[in-house]
Chain A
Amino acid sequence: MTDIATMPRPVSFGRRLKRFMADRPLIPLIILLIVLVVILQILRPGIVNERWLANTAKFAIPLAILAGCQTMTMLTGGIDLSVGTVATMSAFIMATQIVNQDPTVAFLLAMLPAVLIGLVNGIGVGVFRVHPLIMTLGTSLIGTGFLQVYQRTVIASGAKIPDFLNWLGTGVTYGFPNALLLFVPVAVLIVLMLNRTGFGRLLYAVGDNERAARLSGVRYWQVITALYILSSLLAGITGLLYIGLIKAPSLSLAEPLVLPSVAAAVIGGTSIFGGRGGYTGTIIGALILTVLTTLLTILQMPEGGRRILFGFIVLFVTAAYLRIIEDR
């Protein structure tokens, strides 16, 4: 039930359109995505085929999951810059431990730093009130340092990519990338959690008005600690998926995904000031960024020019989108 439905009053078409968009913020995003795909098809006719779709999905999925971490933390007015390091750590540990360990043990070892970093982030932000930007940047640096130390201890044993992760990261079944087997449940769970669980409600409430949440009996530190652990776990799982896709364990494996993941959440309509946004928008945001990257690659520009253009487009899209959906 919206205002338009109950109160028919004379309003200009532009205003009605704006209201419509404000109530359904996904529509302008989907339109933008389709426009980008159409431009791609015009520039390079025939590029948009089944293989291209599967490839785009494969590369968009790790970005989309990390952007999910950003969405959830941004809803509370925070951010998680440690997702890149966490993903890299779990991928690297997995790839090196699988050499001599049972897969289950290797998996648990891989997820251990994720839990620890998430816990430290959560306590730092929730209890000691360190700004999330600084807190997660700090733990990210610490994590990278530990990883370098760890690398020396396993230098002799070498690394390999487990077959299962290989299959999950790059495999395609009946035209669908296998990564969807992981992504679809994760996405559904995040969306359901945000909209249909008490914890999801609290993320929005804490980000919108922390004082009001407190007066309603919410303990801030509990919510924040749980949130950052969850975010780190998701990042760890993304790392495993990503190593199956990239197949080259390195100390900066997922680092290039961090800032795009923030951008995807922002383009998807999640406010970095908290209290507003959702995961469906973020998924489309991740797709838009991935398509945009392809688009800029086929333009055959020098790397520098491509980055400049990418930055400008991201800024423009975000600003325009906020103008459209914010009904003030």
Chain B
Amino acid sequence: MTTSPLLDATSVAKNYGAVAALRNASLSVLPGEVHALMGANGAGKSTLVKILTGAIKADAGRILIRGQQLDVRSPAAARRAGLLPVYQEPSLIPDLDVLSNLRLTGTPVEPFRAWVRELGIPDLDIRETARHIPLAILRVLDLARALAVEPDVLLLDEMTAALPANLAEKVLEVVRRQGDAGRSVIFISHRFVEISALCDRATVLRDGATVGVVDIEPGVEERIVEMMLGTRIEKTRIAARAPNEVAVAAGGRPRLSVRNLQLGTKLNDVSFDLANGEVVGVFALEGQGQDELFAALAGSIRPTGGTIDVDGAPVKFSHPSDAIQAGIAYVPGDRTEALAMQRSVRENIALPFSAGLRKWGPIRMRREQVVVSGAIGRLQIDTRAQGEVQRLSGGNQQKVTIARWIAANARTILCFDPTRGIDVGTKQEIYKLLRELAGQGKSVLFYTSEMEEVQRVCDRVIVIFGGRVVDTFPVEEADEPALMRAAYGLPRGAKADVGILAEVRPASDAEAAS
């Protein structure tokens, strides 16, 4: 095309200390275009968006708006230049009513109302306090507020996430018409269905650099997945496992059996089994419902529908202690959520022992010492600073969270991203431990966002997208392209020459999953 771009960012880079969040990102948006920005977790999408909207400052690079170099040093400056973002988190101030929120940002009220009606909310009371408005509506109001000031470039971050189908449809329609009206939209999404229905072109980021700009046409999703994966496309070999790490061939009924699990709009019809002696991986992009799945299995939140069976008997957990009673232990990804930081390693590991009302009496110190040091030895926790857990390194803290359940002899462990932010050596030890647990007939459900870990640790992998199970693979077939494709909601066997819209279930159905 010959028209000059409305927004042209080239060679943008941003470092956080020694870590390069963006190395060489470029993004060029034409007038009247809906442009998709894509990339796996950590590819640098959100950093680029923050730079474009003035939330952070780039270390290098050039940003032109309508051919003029602009120094976007604050969100207000970006706004003046005609660049307006709608983030995933609602941005209305909760304790003000909608009208006050509009005044705060100088948004004209009548156009806002018109857009709200346009977006499918006919009866909004703008005197309503934002806190009392449901999340889905708040997101739409954010969009309407942005549309009301008629920005040249609208930046939408996962706009349809958490929206019910009817609202999502309206939103997509409005976004499409923005393009027709000569304004541009940058559309960030994990959903190929939306992208292919909506966007003209896509820019793909990988490891902080732009690796390609493609026109959206049938079959392009394969190319996009390839670009996101880069050179890692070749089949990775699964390392042979030591005999004691091989899963016990489990006969009989499954240890944990989840059927049609439903949790608001976050989880939809999730079904899977976890056998004794098995490590099942859960792979998903951020925020696809995995947090809710684990919380429901751990008894932290109550599902709105579906059943959970443990050893063939149905269970209803109303508190984590119910799950623990059933032998299901949850290791959260965030260590600060699991540890009493000012207490000793010993007390942290022994904490579940005292939980029940009947165990409030005197502690048998010697027996506890034996059990705790057994678990410490098994995980090789460095106990030089055992007086307070907060003095331990991150890796050792993570080990303590797992050691607690080794000591309690839990039969099933739900590990949510246990290797986040810890050193390579400790990661290896945790992989080995999980395999050993499976070797002893225990079962592990293991969420990870790193594809490599799936192959190292799991026997099977469940891929979740938009609150639904997209696919279940045996680990032999879980190579990176297959995982990545599934993580973006593309089922196995979708061929490159088949357009997505023809292949995937109807769009409205997919939107309902959000």
Q: Which residues of A contact B (CB under 8 A)?
A: 1-3, 6-7, 23, 192, 196-199, 201-202, 204-205, 208-209, 211-219, 222, 226, 275-276
Instruction: State the main secondary structure of chain A at its contact with B.
Output: helix
Instruction: Report B349-365 residues with CB < 8 Å from chain A CB.
Output: 350-357, 359-363, 365
Distance (whole angstroms) from the CB of A72 to the closest CB of chain B: 14
Task: Enumerate B319-349 residues with CB–CB distance to A below 8 Å.
Answer: 319-321, 324-325, 330, 332, 336-343, 347
Indicate if the CB atoms of A201 and B337 lie closer than 8 Å: no
Which of A198, A275, A276 touches B353 (beta carbons < 8 Å)? Answer: A198
Which residues of A are found within 8 Å of B321, using beta-carbon distances? 217-219
Q: For residue B386, which residues in chain A have a CB less than 8 angstroms away from its CB?
A: 1
Query: Do the beta carbons of B352 and A6 come within 8 Å of each other?
Result: no
In the bound complex, residues from chain B placing their C-beta under 8 Å from that of A208 are 340-343
**What 9 A-B pairs come out closest when comparing CB atoms?**
A198-B354, A208-B340, A217-B321, A217-B355, A199-B360, A217-B324, A198-B360, A216-B351, A218-B355
A23 to B391, CA, bound (A): 13
Q: List 30 A-B contacts (CB under 8 A).
A: A1-B386, A3-B385, A6-B384, A196-B365, A197-B363, A198-B353, A198-B355, A198-B359, A198-B363, A199-B361, A201-B354, A202-B360, A205-B354, A208-B342, A209-B339, A209-B340, A209-B341, A212-B340, A213-B355, A215-B300, A215-B320, A215-B330, A215-B338, A216-B324, A217-B319, A217-B352, A218-B351, A226-B360, A275-B342, A276-B342
Interface centre among A7, A212, A214, A217 (most CB of B within 10 A): A217
Would you call B343 and A217 a contact (CB within 8 A)?
Answer: no
Nearest-CB residue, chain B, relative to A197: B362
Asked whether A275 and B340 contact (CB < 8 A) given A201-B363, A215-B320, A217-B320, the answer is: yes
Residues of B within 8 A of A (CB): 298, 300, 319-321, 324-325, 330, 332, 336-343, 347, 350-357, 359-363, 365, 384-387, 404
Residue in A closest to B364 when the chains form the complex, CB atoms: A196
Chain A: CB-nearest residue to B350 = A201
A222 touches B357 (CB 8 A): yes
When distances are taken between beta carbons in the complex, the residues of chain B under 8 Å from A192 are: 362
Tell me the bound Cα distance from A3 to B111 in angstroms.
66
**Given A6-B384, A217-B356, A275-B343; A212-B338 close (CB under 8 Å):** yes
Taking A2-B387, A6-B384, A197-B362 as contacts, is the C-beta distance between A212 and B354 under 8 angstroms?
no
B404 and chain A: residue at smallest CB distance: A216
Q: Is the CB of A197 within 8 A of B352?
A: no
Residues of A within 8 A of B363 (CB): 196-198, 201
Given contacts A215-B337, A217-B355, A219-B319, contact A197 B361 (CB under 8 A): yes
Q: With A7-B384, A215-B338, A217-B356 as given contacts, are A205 and B351 in contact (CB-CB < 8 Å)? A: yes
Alpha-carbon distance between A324 and B396 when the two chains are bound, in angstroms? 27
Find chain B residues with CB under 8 A from A1 CB.
386
Q: State which of B337, B347, B357, B360 has its C-beta within 8 Å of the C-beta of A204.
A: B347
Other contacts beyond A205-B351, A212-B339, A216-B324: 19, CB < 8 A: A3-B385, A7-B384, A198-B355, A198-B360, A199-B360, A201-B363, A204-B347, A208-B342, A209-B336, A209-B340, A212-B337, A212-B340, A215-B337, A215-B338, A216-B320, A217-B319, A217-B352, A217-B356, A218-B321
A218: which B residues are within 8 A, CB to CB?
Answer: 321, 351, 354-355
Interchain CB contact under 8 A, A212 and B361:
no
Chain B proximity of A217: nearest CB distance (Å): 4
Cβ of B410 to closest chain A Cβ, rounded Å:
11
- The answer on a CB contact under 8 Å between B343 and A211 is no
Instruction: Specify which chain B residues have a CB less than 8 angstroms from the CB of A226 in the assembled complex.
Output: 360
Q: How far is the CA of A23 from the CA of B388 in the complex (A)?
A: 11
Within the complex, what minimum Cβ distance (angstroms) separates B248 from chain A? Answer: 27
Residues of A with C-beta under 8 A to B359: 198
Min Cβ gap B81→A in Å is: 43
Taking the closest CB of chain B, its distance from the CB of A25, in whole angstroms, is 12
Do B355 and A202 have beta carbons less than 8 Å apart? yes
Q: What is the minimal beta-carbon distance from B315 to any residue of chain A, in angstroms?
A: 15
Residues of A close to B387: CB separation below 8 A: 2, 23
Known contacts A197-B361, A215-B332, A222-B357; is-contact A204 B340 (Cβ 8 Å): yes
List A contacts of B330 (CB < 8 A).
215
Choose among B319, B330, B347, B354 the residue with the greatest number of A CB atoms under 10 Å from its CB: B354
Q: How far is the CB of A87 from chain B (nearest CB, A)?
A: 26
For residue A154, give the distance in angstroms from its CB to the closest CB of chain B.
38
CB of B328, distance to nearest CB on chain A (Å): 11
B335 to chain A, nearest CB (A): 9
Given the complex of chains A and B, what is the CA–CA distance between A226 and B337 in angstroms? 25
Report how far A199 CA is from B361 CA in the complex, Å: 7
Residues of chain B lying within 8 A (CB to CB) of residue A23: 387
Measured CB to CB, the closest approach of chain B to A34, in angstroms, equals: 27
CB-CB < 8 A to A214: which residues of B?
A: 300, 319-320
